[in-house]
Amino acid sequence: MRYICIVCLFALLAGCAPANPTVSPDAFSEFMEVVQSGDYHAMTRKGDEVFKEGLYIPDHAELFARFPWSEVEPGYIRYILYSFDGEVSGGEVYLILERDSGRIIEFNYFEATYE
């Protein structure tokens, strides 16, 4: 009987868990503050913390409305969150999501040095 109660408790708790874990609004706001600063390295660090693969951003079209985007393949969208091109280097910070669900596929960035 005791084991049945424990199994029922776990089933109840599992049913209460959110079906799609989402990016915290506070964490998203903190990331956007870093974007405003223009600090590439701070963006990459904060983005790695916030945009974990498998999390969801269901309202991504609204949240990223001011950022350039493209469809990387059918059903997947790539938002360019930051891009720079200087005399000696260039780089980009981007996020790939499932278009319909907002599930994070990849958060990534690159920096290139010109010679």
Side-chain-side CA neighbours of residue 89 (13 Å) = 7
Q: What is the pLDDT along the chain (115 residues), one digit of tens a residue?
A: 554 534 343 444 444 555 789 999 999 999 999 999 999 999 999 999 999 999 999 999 999 999 999 999 999 999 999 998 888 888 999 999 999 999 999 999 999 988 7
How many domains does the chain fold into?
1
**Does residue 28 fall inside a structural domain?**
yes
Q: Which domain range does residue 94 map to?
A: 21-113
Token pair for 19:
């079906």
pTM: 0.79
**Does residue 60 fall inside a structural domain?**
yes
